[in-house]
């Protein structure tokens, strides 16, 4: 079967999921690349995906599940028997039930999952002094992602109809992992370094940051702890202090590799 368009849909505060989606799209080829970046806002209206479009949906793993904000924003997409490649990106600890959750949710929205993958990205909580999967996806990961795209392309070329494909099985359990309670917390600003350029306001996916009394204020009840503001502050003025950084750095330093379900 042939597809006219490749469509990448992603939620990716620190850009690792987006990088993987682009690398897979490169391997898939196709004439037109459509992009729906769901990181900074939700769509105002529902979007119908057509069956001549091959869609890649990429999102980060938060607590062994798909990041909640991604799940909310993905609800805007409905499909009518359109092929999809669900992709999750996680910070070298584990992705637990996230890929299954994403794949099942897309199937419920009318997509047909054809292949899926779990990739590794630098952990949101990684720091220079305590790196966790720092610099990933690296060249090796991106090559695996592009080759994965080529493999999917060949797989689809071999069938006339999507219904000729075997239903896709991915790793993960149902009922999905229940996440423990999460304490409201947000990154803080070093006032001596901050120049109030307001870039952090632009990169926050949930508008948790504002200026009050000439100071940056992050609302911990809104913040999703994605650490985009920490990683992107041009002055290095934002930090997120969590005991998870040391724990993850110590216990999850053995390199994990992408897992592909073709």
Ligand X SMILES: Cc1cc2nc3c(=O)[nH]c(=O)nc-3n(C[C@H](O)[C@H](O)[C@H](O)COP(=O)(O)O)c2cc1C
The residue ranges that bind ligand X (CB under 6 A) are: 12-17, 60-64, 89-94, 121-124, 225-227
- The residue among 87 and 152 lying less far from ligand X, judged by its C-beta, is 87
Q: How far is the CB of 159 from ligand X (least distance, A)?
A: 31
Nearest distance, CB of residue 253 and ligand X, angstroms: 12
| Minimum distance of ligand X from residue 59's CB (angstroms) | 7
Rounded to a whole number of angstroms, the minimum distance from the CB of residue 205 to ligand X is: 9
Q: Which is nearer to ligand X, 92 or 115 (CB)?
A: 92
- Closest residue to ligand X in the complex (CB): 121
Residues 262, 117: Cα–Cα separation, whole Å: 8
Three-class DSSP category at 239: strand
* Beta carbon of residue 233, minimum distance to ligand X (angstroms, whole number): 16
CA dihedral 44, 50, 55, 61 (to 10 degrees): 50
Min. distance of Cβ 203 from ligand X in angstroms?
A: 11
H or E stretch including 198? none
Q: Which CB atom, from 156 or from 227, has the smaller least distance to ligand X?
A: 227
CB 148 within 8 Å of CB 78 = no
Cα-flanking dihedrals φ and ψ of residue 155, to 5°?
A: -60, -45
Judged by CB, which is closer to ligand X: 155, or 231? 231
What is the distance between the alpha carbons of residues 13 and 15, in angstroms, rounded to a whole number?
A: 6
> In the chain, where do the E strands start and end?
5-10, 32-37, 47-49, 53-62, 65-66, 77-79, 82-90, 111-113, 116-120, 188-189, 209-212, 215-218, 238-239, 259-261
In angstroms, how far is CA 199 from the centroid of its own chain? Answer: 21
Q: Judged by CB, which is closer to ligand X: 13, or 30?
A: 13
Residue (30 or 60) nearer to ligand X, CB: 60
Q: Dihedral, CA atoms, 162, 167, 73, 233, nearest 10 degrees?
A: -100
């Amino acid at each position: 079967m042939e597809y006219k368009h490749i469509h990448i849909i992603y939620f990716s505060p620190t850009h690792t999921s987006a990088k993987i989606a682009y690398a897979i799209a490169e391997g898939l080829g196709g004439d037109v690349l459509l992009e729906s970046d769901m990181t900074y806002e939700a769509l105002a209206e529902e979007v119908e995906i057509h069956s001549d479009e091959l869609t890649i949906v990429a999102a980060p793993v938060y607590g062994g599940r798909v990041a909640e904000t991604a799940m909310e924003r993905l609800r805007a997409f409905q499909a009518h028997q359109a092929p999809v490649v669900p992709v999750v990106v996680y910070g070298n600890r584990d992705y637990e039930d996230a890929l299954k959750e994403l794949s099942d949710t897309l199937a419920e929205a009318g997509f047909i999952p054809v292949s899926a993958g779990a990739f590794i990205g630098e952990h949101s909580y990684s720091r220079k002094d305590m790196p966790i999967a720092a610099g990933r996806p690296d060249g090796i990961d991106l090559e695996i992602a592009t080759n994965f795209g080529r493999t999917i392309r060949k797989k689809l070329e071999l069938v006339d109809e999507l219904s000729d494909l075997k239903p896709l099985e991915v790793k993960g359990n149902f009922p999905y992992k229940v996440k423990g309670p999460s304490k409201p917390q947000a990154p803080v600003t070093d006032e001596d370094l901050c120049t109030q350029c307001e870039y952090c306001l632009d990169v926050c996916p949930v508008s948790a940051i504002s200026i009050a009394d000439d100071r940056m204020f992050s609302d911990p009840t809104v913040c999703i702890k994605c650490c985009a503001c920490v990683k992107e502050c041009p002055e290095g003025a934002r930090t997120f202090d969590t005991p998870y950084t040391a724990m993850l750095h110590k216990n999850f330093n053995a390199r994990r590799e992408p897992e592909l379900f073709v």
